[in-house]
Amino acid sequence: MKSLVEVKDLALGYEGKEVFSHLNFQIEERDFIVVLGPNGSGKSTLVKGLLKLLKPMSGEIIYHLSQNRLGYMPQVTKVDAHFPATVFEVVLSGAINRLGKRAFFHREEKALALESLSLLGIEDLKNCAFSELSGGQKQKVLLARALCATRELLILDEPSNNLDLKSKAEFYELIQKLNKEKHIAIMLITHDEHGKETLGNKELVFEDDQVIFRRRENHV
Ligand SMILES: Nc1ncnc2c1ncn2[C@@H]1O[C@H](COP(=O)(O)OP(=O)(O)OP(=O)(O)O)[C@@H](O)[C@H]1O
């Protein structure tokens, strides 16, 4: 499988203090990597590094993504729930990295936003106010927004947070389908028991001063 991202001997941290070091792993095409670990262990720090919001203290991250595009879905709690925009506007904003020097979205980006909505079966929400959606619907809209950025690699930050069991199961089914049928590589950061047991072909586990990367044996 082609490598999408190579993390080599990476150390990340804040103000000269390392959160983790000597981290090595690769994200390959079609991978579904589950990232696990207790609060404060460094999961979000890794995500910040992958999104280039935090510079490596040592080591490097090498990207083999087309036009360096990465899809990121933030935690709903980190998104302003009262954001005064329609679903379509929120999804379209995911295509901002495709604009280059243009200030306005073209027909292609708008078509991509519609296609992302329809891929997730939520085209009927298009004109709804984002702030009025349920938690599960908001997650799907943010996933459609990430799909507008790229179909190569999505990083999902605790997507099951604050969802009821039914919405959670539905959401996991959806991302599994994107991975298996559309061959989108996924990195899922989760605390969730469901994710711990059943999802992913590989896992990255942050525990007691070490980070372990391994293949999951129970992968279906
Ligand atoms: N901006 C920051 N400045 C300084 N220290 C930080 C900053 N952000 C996080 N940290 C520290 O880095 C460590 C790792 O935090 P991080 O947020 O990556 O953990 P996490 O595994 O994502 O936790 P959670 O599951 O609660 O989101 C913690 O000790 C945290 O206090």
Q: What pLDDT, on the 0 to 100 scale, is given for residue 208?
A: 77
Q: In terms of Cα–Cα distance, which of 155, 139, 146 is closest to 76?
A: 139
Residue 83 lies in a domain: yes
Residue 45 lies in a domain: no
pLDDT reading at 218 higher than 80: no
Q: What pLDDT, on the 0 to 100 scale, is given for residue 51?
A: 92
Tell which atom from ligand 1 comes closest to the C-alpha of 13.
12
> What's the mean per-residue pLDDT of the chain?
88
Helix (H, G, I), strand (E, B) or coil at 102: coil
**Rounded to whole angstroms, how far apart are CA atoms 215 and 220?**
12
Output the residue whose Cα is nearest ligand 1's atom 5.
Answer: 14
pLDDT reading at 79 higher than 90: no
Residue 18 lies in a domain: no
Q: In terms of Cα–Cα distance, which of 9, 2, 31, 79 is closest to 185?
A: 31
75 versus 154: which is more confidently predicted?
A: 154
Tens-place pLDDT, residues 127-147:
999 999 988 899 899 999 999
Q: In terms of Cα–Cα distance, which of 129, 121, 57 is closest to 90?
A: 129
Taking the centre of ligand 1 as the mean of its atom positions, its distance from the CA of residue 45, in whole angstroms, is 6
Do residues 124 and 102 make contact, with C-beta atoms less than 8 angstroms apart? no
Output the residue whose Cα is nearest ligand 1's atom 19.
Answer: 40
Question: Could you list the residue range(s) of the whole structural domain that residue 101 is in?
Answer: 78-149
The mean pLDDT value for 85-91 works out to 93
Task: Select the highest-mean-pLDDT range: 11-20, 75-84, 170-179.
Answer: 11-20
* % of the chain residues with pLDDT over 70: 90
Residue 168 lies in a domain: no
Per mean pLDDT, which range of 54-63, 112-121, 143-152, 160-169 is the poorest? 160-169
Model confidence band, residue 158 (pLDDT cutoffs 50, 70, 90) = confident
Q: What pLDDT, on the 0 to 100 scale, is given for residue 155?
A: 94
Do residues 11 and 40 make contact, with C-beta atoms less than 8 angstroms apart? no
Output the residue whose Cα is nearest ligand 1's atom 28.
Answer: 40
Output the residue whose Cα is nearest ligand 1's atom 24.
Answer: 39
Residue 210 lies in a domain: no
The complex's ipTM works out to 0.97
Residue 143 lies in a domain: yes
Do residues 145 and 79 make contact, with C-beta atoms less than 8 angstroms apart? no
| Site residues for ligand 1, CB cut-off 6 Å | 14, 19, 37, 39-45
Q: Number of structural domains, the chain?
A: 1
Q: Which residues pair with 86 in a beta bridge?
A: 129
Output the residue whose Cα is nearest ligand 1's atom 18.
Answer: 42
The mean pLDDT value for 146-164 works out to 86
pTM: 0.90
Q: What pLDDT, on the 0 to 100 scale, is given for residue 159?
A: 77
Per mean pLDDT, which range of 34-38, 66-70, 79-83, 134-138 is the poorest? 79-83
Taking the centre of ligand 1 as the mean of its atom positions, its distance from the CA of residue 39, in whole angstroms, is 8
Output the residue whose Cα is nearest ligand 1's atom 4.
Answer: 14
| Paired tokens of 57 | 């203290």
Residue 4 lies in a domain: no
**To test the ligand 1 pocket, which listed residue (14, 23, 158, 190) has its Cβ within 8 A of the most ligand atoms?**
14
pLDDT reading at 53 higher than 70: yes
Q: What pLDDT, on the 0 to 100 scale, is given for residue 198?
A: 73
The mean pLDDT value for 37-64 works out to 94
Q: In terms of Cα–Cα distance, which of 149, 129, 147 is closest to 87?
A: 129
Taking the centre of ligand 1 as the mean of its atom positions, its distance from the CA of residue 74, in whole angstroms, is 15
Reduce the secondary structure of 16-67 to three states and give it as a string: CEEEEEEEEEEEECCCEEEEECCCCCCHHHHHHHHCCCCCCCEEEEEECCHH
Residue 21 lies in a domain: no
